[in-house]
């Protein structure tokens, strides 16, 4: 039996009103979400999600997408300081990428693991300190919801109905109770929410 260090497992994701993290165009269709990503509330929320986190857990698609964007923000003096802070954290922190296809790490301070998310979480919780952030990786978040291994959810709710696309909360998840610990509404009607698992 693995001992645990007490590290919290957190996850962040943006969803439409109908609970979708992408639209009818598939995984790259973020039209109903992307316009809310640069609001004041969203940027403050971005800062909140990584405070206290020392490990980022990513899926392959997000790791590759982030690699093409965030390192340039980290060195851009004209970027919003909150964006730059998050970018620097992401570049500098320990990253674990779950993938069945990658053979080498796409970033520095990154390792690739081909294992179920629950097993990776158990291994990460056995060592180290600080939160483990599942960083905008819905497939991993779904697996951890199914295994009831998430301690905190950072949600950004965007005031649009996508009508189709992939949902975060699939049927068949185990029932669970959550406590709202932070809530903030933006001028476009977007809402930043933080829920802690009530155990």
Q: What pLDDT score does 6 carry?
A: 86
d(CA 88, CA 186): 25
pLDDT tens for each residue of 78-118: 999 999 999 999 999 999 999 999 988 888 899 999 999 99
Quote the tokens at residue 7: 């590290």
User: Is 9-198 a domain of CATH 3.40.430.10?
Assistant: yes
User: What percent of the chain lies above the pLDDT cut of 70?
Assistant: 97
d(CA 144, CA 149): 5
d(CA 69, CA 8): 27
On the question of pLDDT at 1 being above 60, the answer is no
pLDDT tens for each residue of 19-29: 999 999 998 89
pLDDT tens for each residue of 146-170: 999 999 999 999 999 999 999 999 9
Read off the pTM. 0.94
Is residue 160 classed as helix, strand or coil in its secondary structure? coil
Quick one: average pLDDT of 42-59?
Answer: 96
């Amino acid at each position: 039996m693995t001992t645990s260090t007490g590290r919290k497992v957190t996850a962040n994701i943006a969803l439409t009103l109908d609970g979708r993290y992408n639209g009818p165009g598939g995984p790259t269709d973020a039209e109903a979400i992307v316009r809310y990503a640069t609001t004041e509330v969203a940027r403050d929320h971005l800062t909140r999600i990584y405070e206290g986190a020392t490990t980022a857990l990513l899926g392959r698609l997000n790791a590759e997408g982030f690699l093409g964007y965030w390192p340039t923000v980290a060195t851009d003096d004209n970027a919003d300081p909150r964006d730059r802070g998050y970018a620097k954290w992401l570049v500098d922190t320990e990253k674990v990428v779950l993938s069945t296809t990658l053979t080498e790490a796409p970033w520095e301070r990154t390792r690739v693991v081909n294992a179920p998310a629950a097993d990776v979480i158990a291994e990460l919780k056995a060592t180290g300190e600080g939160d483990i952030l599942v960083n905008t990786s819905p497939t991993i978040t779904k697996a951890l919801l199914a295994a009831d291994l998430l301690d905190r959810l950072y949600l950004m709710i965007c005031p649009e109905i996508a009508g189709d696309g992939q949902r975060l909360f699939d049927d068949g998840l185990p029932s669970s109770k959550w406590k709202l610990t932070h809530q903030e509404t933006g001028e476009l009607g977007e809402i930043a929410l933080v829920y802690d698992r009530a155990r």
